[in-house]
Amino acid sequence: MTKYVELNAVLDAIGNQQDGTGMTFEALSHAMRDVMSLPQVETVPVKHGHWEEVPYKTVEHGEVVIRGKTVRCSICKHAEKGWNKGMNYCPNCGSRNVKEND
């Protein structure tokens, strides 16, 4: 799995090497330039949630009718007929979900 690090944290770590490592300012500058030239991607934090079992409701002739059960996402609270606890992410908000109490 690809892992990402925060660019500023890397640059700070390189910059902190000036303190007693014997690396020249020029060597540190080259290292920073090399890091800055690497391909960069923007990422978003992974949201972690779980599936909550809820009644599946429909409206028929103006009345709410319970038609069994489904699951909803604990992050966005969205539910759809046919969703199940075996799905590992929410199709609505993208959160990574596991079964409730797992």
String of DSSP letters for the chain: ------HHHHHHHHHGGGTTS---HHHHHHHHHHHHHS------PPPEEEEEEEEEEEEETTEEEEEEEEEEETTT--B-TT--TT-SB-TTT--EEEETT-
Per residue of the chain (102 residues), what is the pLDDT tens digit? 677 888 888 888 877 776 666 677 788 888 888 888 888 888 888 899 999 988 888 778 888 788 888 889 999 999 888 777 788 899 999 999 876 554
pLDDT score, position 96: 92
pLDDT score, position 75: 94
Q: Are 98 and 51 in contact (CB under 8 A)?
A: yes
pLDDT score, position 18: 66
pLDDT score, position 48: 92
Instruction: Give the pair of three-digit tokens for residue 10.
Output: 């890397």
Q: What angle (nearest 5°) sits at the alpha carbon of residue 64, between those of residues 93 and 49?
A: 20
For tokens 């303190």, name the residue. Answer: 19
